[in-house]
């Protein structure tokens, strides 16, 4: 590739994302472990509640978010973890792309990773829990997408930080989960209403908060990311 | 009127325990560091 | 590293020039004790909630001071990140530690009081309590993060980033909990633990308790800051010793 100028912000980000996804595609370990977790969780949650007390239909929203959160954490763990080997992060820092692109690229890679999980997990959820397939499910998928952006934005930053500390596996959830709370609260309530057949207009206030969170934290984490790298 | 004397005593006791525990922890930590610095001075 | 050796020499000559525990803290503790006495013996019980309402004097003062302490952490983190100031970082750390103590008091006295008033130990629709819970998690994460990093500069940078992002997070949590609570549970009008009608004696006790606990909070932060100086001094001497 004979490029005269270094790639722009989003081009560079896409290159970083592509690299991460290519590495993941070769081994697929994180993908499969997240997938296995998702499917197992779906089945276990089904059996832990008395069917006559709470219908599977009512349980489904809750299960959806638990599965999303924890498969996200599994994916995020590995996000900067894979740079540990051979100090891959140095190669990224030396290359002529901005620090922000590294962050956006990693975040994008994580987002696509999560999407790949959800592409299987959401239909599995609909299958096991007898959800009506139609417009509500589609809207909820959109809500999941919005939630994923927020989760991935903070999670990627904290993954970058946690990997440099002694307690990486403890710190990533500990740092991230408080930040997931507004995302999950609003997304879950909106999704529950949609599943219950309410119109989108009714859940719009929650979606507004979710979108605001996404915008604020994608920007904030992009700005904060260079501080997590060595001078 | 709710009879709640037990509650209010419990509340004050618990709060006092939390504060006292912190003060004690700070005291023990500063003693340890002071001892460490004294040893270095020797 | 002559300045370090000089200060080390000074410290070795007089290691207690700035004692961690001194009369200021003692005075603050006495002030708190005095408020206890006044609240317990010299303030009437409230009509509707009975004696349990007296927890209010400890609970609300702790909440106010906790939020102030945590705000100091956020502000000092900004300063520390921007100016690379070690003292600001140390103040942020001290304030966070004291802050989590006061947050813990809020989270323990809250349910004790609430159990009698609401009939449940915890109330997710009680916005301030729920917000305090999440704040506790964020501060705990801050302290654990600090404990997990050995390099001073990285520790200051990382914890400052977390503190600033945490400060951004709080309004979102507040809004989210509000939207959650408003839907679920209209605020109980009759028994509102936060604002009992306060006749003058109770108001005075309340003001005194806020003053005493704030003094206590400031004294604790000051003591913790001094401990931080000593601890950093010991650590730099260790590093010097290892390098030598």
Q: Which of A186, A224, A228 to mutate to test the interface with C (most CBs of C within 10 A)?
A: A224
Residue holding tokens 């070690």? C86
Rounded percentage of chain C residues whose pLDDT exceeds 90: 49
Rounded to the nearest angstrom, the minimum Cα separation between A191 and chain C is 13
CB-based contact A34:A74 (threshold 8 Å): yes
pLDDT at A124 over 60: yes
Nearest CA in chain C to B36: C234
Whether B28 is in a domain gets the answer yes
Long-range contacts of C126-130 (CB under 8 A, 24+ apart): C126/C181, C127/C174, C127/C177, C127/C178, C127/C181, C128/C63, C128/C194, C130/C177, C130/C181
Q: Give per-residue pLDDT as tens, A143-183.
A: 999 999 999 999 999 999 998 888 888 899 999 999 999 99
CB-based contact A83:A163 (threshold 8 Å): yes
Instruction: Give backbone dihedrals phi and psi of A31, rounded to 5 degrees, phi first.
Output: -60, -50
Rounded percentage of chain A residues whose pLDDT exceeds 70: 94
Buried b (16+ CB within 10 A) or exposed e, B3-40: ebeebbbbbbebbeebbeebbeebeeebeebbebbeeb
Rounded percentage of chain B residues whose pLDDT exceeds 70: 88
Nearest CA to A92 among A15, A170, A195, A8?
A: A15
Of C150, C166, C176, the CB nearest to A182: C176
Chain C, residues 97-116, CB within 8 A of chain A, namely: none
Instruction: Give backbone dihedrals phi and psi of C239, rounded to 5 degrees, phi first.
Output: -60, -40
CB-based contact A191:A64 (threshold 8 Å): yes
Residue holding tokens 């296995």? A36
pLDDT of residue A136: 86
Nearest CA to C131 among C181, C81, C90, C87?
A: C181
How much is the average pLDDT of C188-193? 44
pLDDT at A121 over 80: yes
Burial of C219 (0-12, 13-18, 19+ CB in 10 A): buried
Measure the N-to-C terminal CA separation of chain B; round to a whole number of Å.
Answer: 65
Cα–Cα distance, C145 to C163 (Å, whole number): 11
CB-based contact A104:A165 (threshold 8 Å): no
Residues from chain C that touch B2, judged by Cβ atoms under 8 A, are 48-50, 52, 116
Rounded to the nearest angstrom, the minimum Cα separation between B36 and chain C is 7
Whether C210 is in a domain gets the answer no
Domain boundaries, chain A: 9-228
Rounded to the nearest angstrom, the minimum Cα separation between C97 and chain A is 17
pLDDT at C120 over 80: yes
Tokens describing residue C176: 């989210």
Of C161, C169, C176, the CB nearest to A185: C176
Helix, coil or strand: residue C46: strand
Element (H, E) at B9: helix B5-41
Assess C8–B contact: CB distance below 8 Å, yes or no.
yes
pLDDT of residue C2: 43
Whether B35 is in a domain gets the answer yes
Q: Which of C142, C161, C174, C185 to mutate to test the interface with A (most CBs of A within 10 A)?
A: C161
Cα–Cα distance, C41 to C39 (Å, whole number): 6
CB-based contact C51:B7 (threshold 8 Å): yes
CA distances from A74 to A63, A166, A173 (A): 17, 18, 10
Residues from chain B that touch C116, judged by Cβ atoms under 8 A, are 2, 4, 7
Range of the domain at B40: 15-42
Cα–Cα distance, C84 to A159 (Å, whole number): 23
How much is the average pLDDT of A110-124? 92
The mean predicted confidence, pLDDT, of chain A is: 86
Tokens describing residue A104: 């956006």
Instruction: Give backbone dihedrals phi and psi of C96, rounded to 5 degrees, phi first.
Output: -65, -40
Ranking A60-69, C118-127, C140-149, C188-197 by mean pLDDT, the lowest is C188-197
Residues from chain C that touch A161, judged by Cβ atoms under 8 A, are 145, 158, 161-162
pLDDT of residue B23: 95
Nearest CA in chain C to B17: C105
ipTM: 0.88
Overall number of domains in chain B? 1
CB-based contact B4:C116 (threshold 8 Å): yes
Range of the domain at C183: 53-201
Assess B36–C contact: CB distance below 8 Å, yes or no.
yes
Assess B39–C contact: CB distance below 8 Å, yes or no.
no
**How many residue contacts between A and C have a Cβ separation below 8 Å?**
90
Residue holding tokens 């006292």? B20
CB-based contact A187:A143 (threshold 8 Å): yes
pLDDT at A134 over 70: yes
Residues from chain A that touch C154, judged by Cβ atoms under 8 A, are 164, 230
The CA-CA-CA angle for residues B39, C3, C4, to 5°, reads 30
The yes-or-no reply on C/B contact (3 CB pairs or more, < 8 Å) is yes
Nearest CA in chain B to C117: B2
pLDDT at C142 over 60: yes
Overall number of domains in chain C? 1
Tokens describing residue C39: 């609240």
Half-sphere exposure of A160 (CA within 13 A, CB side): 29
Whether B1 is in a domain gets the answer no
Give the list of residues 6+ apart from residue C69 with CB closer than 8 angstroms, or none.
C95, C96, C98, C99, C102, C217, C221
Residue A30's CB: how many other CB atoms inside 10 A? 21
As beta bridge partners, residue C50 has C46
Q: Give the dihedral sign, CA C73/C75/C81/C86.
A: negative
Tokens describing residue A28: 């697929």
């Amino acid at each position: 590739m004979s490029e005269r100028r270094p790639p722009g912000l989003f081009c560079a980000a896409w290159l970083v994302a592509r690299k991460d996804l290519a590495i993941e595609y070769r081994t697929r370990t994180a993908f499969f472990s997240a997938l296995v977790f998702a499917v197992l969780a779906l089945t276990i949650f089904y059996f832990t509640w008395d069917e006559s007390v709470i219908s599977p239909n009512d349980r489904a929203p809750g299960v959806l978010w638990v599965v999303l959160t924890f498969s996200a954490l599994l994916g995020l763990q590995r996000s900067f973890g894979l740079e540990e080997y051979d100090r891959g992060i140095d190669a990224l820092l030396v290359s002529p792309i901005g620090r922000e692109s590294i962050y956006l690229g990693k975040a994008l890679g994580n987002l696509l990773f999560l999407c790949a999980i959800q592409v299987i997990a959401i239909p599995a959820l609909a299958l096991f829990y007898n959800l009506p397939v139609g417009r509500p499910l589609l809207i909820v998928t959109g809500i999941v997408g919005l939630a994923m952006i927020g989760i991935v934005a903070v999670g990627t930053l904290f993954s970058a930080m946690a990997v440099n500390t002694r307690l990486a596996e403890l710190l990533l959830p500990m740092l991230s989960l408080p930040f997931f709370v507004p995302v999950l609260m609003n997304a879950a309530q909106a999704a529950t209403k949609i599943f219950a057949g309410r119109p989108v207009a009714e859940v719009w206030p929650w979606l507004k908060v979710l979108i605001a969170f996404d915008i604020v934290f994608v920007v904030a984490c992009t700005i904060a990311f260079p501080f997590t790298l060595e001078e | 009127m709710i009879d709640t004397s037990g509650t209010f005593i419990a509340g004050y006791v618990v709060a006092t325990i939390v504060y006292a525990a912190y003060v004690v922890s700070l005291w023990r930590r500063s003693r340890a560091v002071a001892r460490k610095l004294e040893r270095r001075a020797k | 590293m002559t300045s370090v050796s000089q200060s080390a020499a000074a410290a070795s000559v007089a290691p207690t020039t700035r004692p961690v525990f001194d009369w200021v803290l003692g005075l603050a503790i006495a002030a708190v004790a005095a408020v206890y006495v006044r609240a317990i013996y010299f303030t009437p019980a409230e009509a509707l909630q009975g004696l349990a309402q007296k927890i209010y004097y400890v609970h609300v003062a702790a909440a106010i001071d906790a939020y102030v302490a945590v705000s100091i952490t956020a502000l000092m983190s900004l300063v520390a990140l921007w100016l690379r100031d070690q003292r600001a970082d140390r103040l942020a750390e001290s304030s966070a530690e004291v802050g989590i103590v006061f947050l813990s008091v809020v989270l323990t006295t809250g349910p004790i009081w609430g159990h009698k008033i609401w009939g449940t130990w915890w109330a997710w629709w009680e916005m301030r309590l729920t917000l305090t819970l999440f704040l506790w998690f964020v501060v705990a994460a801050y302290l654990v993060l600090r404990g997990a990093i050995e390099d001073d500069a990285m520790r200051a940078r990382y914890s400052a980033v977390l503190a600033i992002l945490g400060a951004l997070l709080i309004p979102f949590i507040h809004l989210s909990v509000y939207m959650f609570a408003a839907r679920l549970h209209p605020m109980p009008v009759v028994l509102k633990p936060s604002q009992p009608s306060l006749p003058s004696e109770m108001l005075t006790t309340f003001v005194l308790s806020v003053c005493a606990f704030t003094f206590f909070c400031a004294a604790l932060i000051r003591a913790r800051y001094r401990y931080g100086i000593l601890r950093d001094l010991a650590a730099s001497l260790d590093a010097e010793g290892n390098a030598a």
